[in-house]
Amino acid sequence: MARLFGTDGIRGVFGDDLTTELARSLGSAAVAVLGRDVREAPSFLIGRDTRTSGPFLEEAMVEGILAGGGHVIRAGIVPTPAVAFLTTELGVSCGVVISASHNTPDYNGIKFFGSRGFKLPDLLEEEIEAALLAGDGVTGARGSEITPRSSAPSYADHVVSAAGTRLEGMRLVVDCANGAASGFAPDVLGRLGADVVAINADGAGAAINSGCGALFPEVVAAAVLAHGADAGVAHDGDADRALFSDAAGNVIDGDQVLAASAIAMQRAGTLTGEAVAATVMSNLGFHRAMAEHGIRVISTAVGDRYVLEGMLEHDLALGGEQSGHVIFREHATTGDGLITAVRFLSLAAEKGVTLAEVAAAMRRFPQVLVNVEVVDKERLEHAEMIWAEVRAREARLDGMGRLLVRASGTEPLVRVMVEAETEEVAREHADAIAAVVATELNR
């Protein structure tokens, strides 16, 4: 059996890879593992995004936890980072998010946060998976559901307090991806004084991430132009990402947000270690901008959990991904799209400049990403024909670009990324490598 937990929890098509039976067993297994060597039964806070499969998985997860003797608090529809925040705020043993993040509506997922608000380490996930396979978890003592004080507003208050300044005078478009941001992002930005136009914010789970949100930032960019706005923000389904558009409709990615934030924090004396954590997918332009300002880059594997691990290991205040996951450690324990939005927009508001001027902290090299569907992504590591092609392409770039080939942690894909001085050159190399990947891994 393949490992259940991927880069970001368990994820799959609802009713196929991810069933209510699996969710129920997973709940009981989590109680068994997290309840070891503790006097009191563990407690779980469960939140979800707007997907239509969410309530079914939630009910199954709750039943599994209760059957295992654990206690449950239901947070309802909330962003993923809200679960991380509320887990520590309410003092529960574990946070559970039912979401497939940026994936299409037919997918869903389950991920866990520990009592300190950090995603569970790989080793603990492996223990939960082993307990599930062994059928551990059901006990004679049934747990109970707990009704806490109203919790959702406290997360919104937390986001508002994280802003560097108010956003008075800004006209903003926010794309909520028909997901968990719908009930939070427009309100938070409005409370900070912005004039907010919300799009894709009806919370319709059947349309979550469908042609909108952080995976389609050109949508918010077009809306910015249509509404004559100063900027746009695009979240994904569970609101742990944020991408942006400037007033001219130019998309601003996570690398640009991270670069501008790092430089601003360095000037303010809050960039611990004079360094920032970023994944191997970060743009070459980001690395050059950081070098120009004397800021070290700690490279990590893809996934905000690995960014956080790098931040904790090196005691860093800032880290993030090109995809829009950014972690401001002073304010969050995981990627938080709403906090990223208020922090980045604050940089423009504080200086009285446009978002384009803030984003100009780095020059983005043209980047081409090709996702190759494969039968067996596990064979990539030892596919010598692929790596021979990679080495040949690296030699041809001769230091004037960068390339990366890696297996997706959540889907049957191999991702081929190439950066170069021009998009045409990047495309040529990416397509050549992708062709070899398709041939070698689909035999």
Query: What pLDDT does residue 304 have?
Result: 85
The CATH architecture assigned to 10-150 reads 3-Layer(aba) Sandwich (3.40)
* Cβ pair 50, 181 in contact under 8 A: no
What is the identity of the amino acid at 392? A
Q: Which two tokens stand for residue 419?
A: 């950066």
Percentage of the chain beyond pLDDT 70 is: 98
Q: Over 70: is that where the pLDDT of 297 sits?
A: yes
pTM for this model (two decimals): 0.89
pLDDT tens per residue across span 352-379: 999 999 999 999 999 899 999 999 999 9
> What pLDDT is recorded for position 251?
97
Please report, to the nearest 10 degrees, the dihedral formed by the alpha carbons of residues 34, 110, 201, 353 taken in order: 70
Note the pLDDT tens digit of each residue in 321-339. Answer: 999 999 999 999 999 999 9
Instruction: Return the DSSP state at 245.
Output: E
CA distances from residue 21 to 58, 120, 132, 205, 439 in whole angstroms, order as listed? 11, 22, 11, 22, 37
Q: Return the CATH architecture of domain 254-336+345-359.
A: 3-Layer(aba) Sandwich (3.40)
Instruction: Tell me what pLDDT residue 148 has.
Output: 73
101's enclosing H/E stretch is none
Helix H or strand E segment including 413: strand 413-420
pLDDT at 184 over 80: yes
Please indicate whether residue 28 is annotated as part of the active site: no
Bridge partners, 65 (sequence order):
none
Is the confidence at residue 2, as pLDDT, over 60?
no
What pLDDT is recorded for position 150? 55
Query: What CATH number does the domain located at 367-441 have?
Result: 3.30.310.50
Backbone Cα Rg of the chain: 22
Q: Could you count the other beta carbons within 10 Å of the beta carbon of residue 168?
A: 10
* Residue 1, pLDDT score: 45
Question: CB-based contacts of 250: which residues, under 8 Å, 6+ apart?
Answer: 221, 356, 359
The domain segmentation of the chain, as residue ranges, is 10-150, 164-250, 254-336+345-359, 367-441
The amino acid that residue 317 corresponds to is A
| Cα separation, 408 vs 238, whole angstroms | 19
Same fold? 164-250, 254-336+345-359: yes
pLDDT(151) > 70: no
Q: What mean pLDDT, rounded, does the chain reach?
A: 94
Q: Are 367 and 417 in contact (CB under 8 A)?
A: yes
For residue range 191-235, list pLDDT tens digits in order.
999 999 999 998 888 999 999 999 999 999 999 999 999 999 999
Collect all residues with Cβ–Cβ distance below 8 Å to 383 and sequence separation of at least 6: 437, 440, 441
* Residue 214: φ, ψ to 5°: -65, -20
21 pLDDT more than 80: yes
pLDDT tens digits along 371-421: 999 999 999 999 999 999 999 999 999 888 889 999 987 789 999 999 998
Which backbone phi and psi does 171 adopt, to 5 degrees? -100, 120
Report pLDDT for 105: 97
Taking each helix axis as running N to C, give the angle between helix 152-162 and helix 337-351, from 0 to 180 degrees, rounded to the nearest 10.
Answer: 30
Counting every residue, how long is the chain?
Answer: 443
Q: What is 164-250's CATH superfamily?
A: Alpha-D-Glucose-1,6-Bisphosphate, subunit A, domain 3 (3.40.120.10)
Whether the CB-CB separation of 314 and 275 falls below 8 Å is answered with yes
Give residue 303's pLDDT band: very low, low, confident or very high (50, 70, 90). confident
Neighbours of 386 (CB within 10 A): 22
241-259 per-position pLDDT tens digit: 999 999 999 999 999 999 9
- The 10s digit of each residue's pLDDT in 33-72 is 998 877 889 999 999 999 999 999 999 999 999 999 999 9
Structure tokens at 259: 């670069």
pLDDT at site 194: 98
Question: Cα(340)–Cα(310) distance, rounded to whole angstroms?
Answer: 19
* Separation in Å, CA 392 to CA 221, 372, 386, 420, 442: 38, 20, 10, 15, 22
Residue 122: what pLDDT? 87
Q: Give me the catalytic one of 25, 93, 99, 101.
A: 101
